[in-house]
Amino acid sequence: MTPRRGNPSMSNGRSVGIDSDVGAGKYAAAVRASLRSAASGRNNALVSAAYGLGRLVGAGRLERVRAEEDLLAVAAEIGLLEGTEVMKSRGTIKRGLDAGEKHPLGSHPSAFGVAFRPRSGRASPPRSASHKEPDPLRPPADEVAELWQSGIAVTEDPATVAWLRSRKLSAADVVDRDLARVIKPKGPRFTWASIGTRSWADSGFRLLLPAFDATGLLATIRARQVITSDGLKEVSAQGFAAIRTVYADKLGRRLLFDGLPPSGFSADRLSVVVAEGWPDFATLASYFSDADENATAVFGIYAGGWTQDIASRIPPAATVAIWTDPDEAGHGYAERIASSLAGRCRVIRSRKEVHDVPTD
């Protein structure tokens, strides 16, 4: 099927407001298109593109992990990820993003061809402490809902069942708790549900992972690779941000939506677990019975996902266990989560080993 909608290209010579989703989407699409069309000096084009997307990251309009994924995908298309070029390109992307983040785009950047180039234009003025962060750039809500609703049960896709089994996950449990679905082979296709020019379905990213905002609404979808263990494992919508969203089981979504314990639950008896990554989130969500009167709400996190707004939806006096990997990134996540709950909830910090099975 022909992909529908997605990021429009930027018209030359026009300013585009980054306050709008369309404006930011046009800017990001133009940066990537410039890199694809570079006939020579491709490393210079790569650092310029990284700088351009870095400016969106700095403005809070694009998730850095997403920017890195997009740039790597385009770099692969133009032959910059072959042999010894891989590490060089990764370093180039990092330097460009770092530089761009220091000069976030303002609300009305100049025309494409000027705004995204290093050392052109002026940096936006510092934001005041009271400045409200702009809303993240999301894929169209109707398309997100359509893709999710069209998804099929994971039990219907042998490759996904095999991948889940390799992670010691039950496909039946995933279906029962509606934690993920599989892209329908002849279902709707959208350009944001792709990596470079290849759709998620064609790239092996068949597993659809719903991500929810602080109000419990489906905000975006991420996708997980189930065919190969090489390269990227999980991606967010191309050209859009997954920041300020989390994975959530049924009870977790109710907490986000209501901000209160469900009927029959007292806050001091409410348990919450925050896990790093979808596999551990799914393991824990499958482990705890949602029929238990002392059921546990489970959230899953990734880079840029957890926020103070999400933490504020967890009722005071609840007990929150943080289940992150015993590495630098995991410690960083745990620190931010604990800080966001300080003084409100009882926080349990337990270092885990990957693939540990929760116990009583």
Evaluate whether residue 191 is within a structural domain.
Answer: yes
Asked which of 101, 126, 156 is the last residue of a domain, the reply is: 101
Evaluate whether residue 88 is within a structural domain.
Answer: yes
Q: Which helix (H) or strand (E) holds 29?
A: helix 21-36
For residues 219 and 283, membership in a common domain is answered with no
Q: How far is CA 341 from CA 201, 232, 245, 249, 311, in A?
A: 38, 32, 17, 20, 6
End-to-end CA distance of the chain: 48
What's the chain's Rg over C-alpha atoms? 21
CA distance 63 to 45: 21
For residues 291 and 342, membership in a common domain is answered with yes
Evaluate whether residue 136 is within a structural domain.
Answer: no
pTM of the model: 0.64
Q: What is the count of structural domains for the chain?
A: 3
SS3 (DSSP) at 195:
strand
CA distance 151 to 218: 14
The residue segments making up the domain with residue 187 are 141-235
Nearest C-alpha neighbor of 48 from the set 99, 88, 96, 104: 96
Model pLDDT for residues 255-279, shown as the tens digit of each residue = 998 877 666 666 667 899 999 999 9
Asked which of 209, 235, 261 is the last residue of a domain, the reply is: 235
Evaluate whether residue 339 is within a structural domain.
Answer: yes
Model pLDDT for residues 61-106, shown as the tens digit of each residue = 777 887 887 787 777 766 666 555 666 777 778 887 887 787 776 5
For residues 173 and 213, membership in a common domain is answered with yes
For residues 206 and 177, membership in a common domain is answered with yes
Nearest C-alpha neighbor of 119 from the set 46, 67, 48, 29: 48
For residues 55 and 77, membership in a common domain is answered with yes
Asked which of 235, 270, 304 is the last residue of a domain, the reply is: 235
CA distance 47 to 53: 10
Cβ within 8 Å of residue 349, ≥6 positions away: 322, 334, 338
pLDDT at 216: 92
For residues 58 and 151, membership in a common domain is answered with no
Evaluate whether residue 13 is within a structural domain.
Answer: no
Model pLDDT for residues 322-352, shown as the tens digit of each residue = 999 988 889 999 999 999 999 999 999 875 5
